[in-house]
């Protein structure tokens, strides 16, 4: 009788119960890790897309301010080799290079091979910044002067979607 009393008082789990608990814990942790990994990858892509969209939004704002404050501007299909302090050569109604001139500053916006390069010339060395993952609308030129105003249209392809950007501006000489 003593052995039976001892077994009744003894508490614990059997080997089968322990294996079932360990397997359930492994499955639960594995599923949670998979969900967390998927969520982290998705969040990384969202942050990257937001950063790319924000940089192009800043480019659009810079482009608009440059167009609106320009005392002279031209659109070119190829780079005419603008020199600081010289007048702008005649341009075309559409092209992939926009040059805006104002007092002591020349700003160029050039589209080339899926990126827009913004260059600022103020008499010193040029300062450039590039904005990537760009496509033009239906393969047309980035800049044009349809309807008598300067226009720019481009798309940015992020990891999540394609975002269209448009800038419309009226330079000072056209007002």
The rounded distance, in Å, linking the Cα atoms of 74 and 94 is: 9
Query: What is the pLDDT, as a whole number, of residue 4?
Result: 64
pLDDT at 9: 62
**pLDDT confidence of 8, banded at 50, 70, 90?**
low
Whole-number average pLDDT of the chain: 87
- More confident site: 7 or 90: 90
Instruction: Say how far apart CA 36 and CA 41 lie, in whole Å.
Output: 9
Its sign, for the CA torsion 54, 59, 61, 62, is: positive
Q: The pTM is what?
A: 0.77
| CA–CA gap between residue 34 and residue 21 (Å, rounded) | 20
Q: Give the pLDDT band (50/70/90) at residue 113.
A: confident
pLDDT computed for residue 6 by the predictor: 60
Predicted local distance difference test score (pLDDT) of residue 75 = 94
What's the whole-number mean pLDDT along residues 87-91?
A: 87
Helix (H) or strand (E) run with residue 26 in it: helix 15-69
**pLDDT tens digit string along 118-175?**
999 887 888 999 999 998 876 789 999 988 899 999 999 888 888 999 999 988 776 6
Print burial letters for 36-71: b (CB count within 10 Å at least 16), e (below 16): eeeeeeeeeeeeebeebbebbeebbebbeebbebbe
Tell me 103's DSSP state: T
What would the mean pLDDT of 41-48 be, rounded to a whole number?
Answer: 91
Q: Say which residue the tokens 């160029």 belong to.
A: 108
Provide the CB-side half-sphere exposure for 173 (13 A, CA). Answer: 9
Token reading at 169: 């501006």
- What does the block give as tokens for 173? 């000489």
């Amino acid at each position: 009788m003593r052995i039976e009393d001892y077994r009744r008082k003894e508490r614990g789990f059997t080997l089968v119960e322990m294996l079932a608990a360990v397997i359930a814990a492994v499955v639960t942790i594995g599923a949670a890790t998979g969900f967390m990994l998927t969520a982290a990858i998705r969040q990384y892509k969202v942050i990257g897309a937001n950063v790319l969209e924000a940089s192009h939004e800043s480019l659009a704002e810079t482009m608009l301010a440059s167009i609106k404050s320009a005392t002279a501007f031209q659109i070119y299909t190829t780079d005419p080799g603008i020199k600081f302090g010289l007048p702008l050569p005649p341009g075309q109604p559409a092209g992939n290079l926009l040059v805006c001139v104002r007092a002591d500053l020349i700003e160029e916006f050039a589209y080339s091979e899926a990126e827009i390069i913004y260059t600022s010339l103020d008499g010193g060395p040029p300062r450039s910044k590039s904005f990537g993952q760009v496509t033009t609308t239906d393969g047309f030129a980035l800049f044009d002067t349809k309807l008598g105003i300067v226009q720019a249209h481009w798309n940015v392809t992020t990891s999540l979607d394609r975002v269209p950007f448009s800038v419309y501006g009226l330079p000072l000489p056209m007002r």
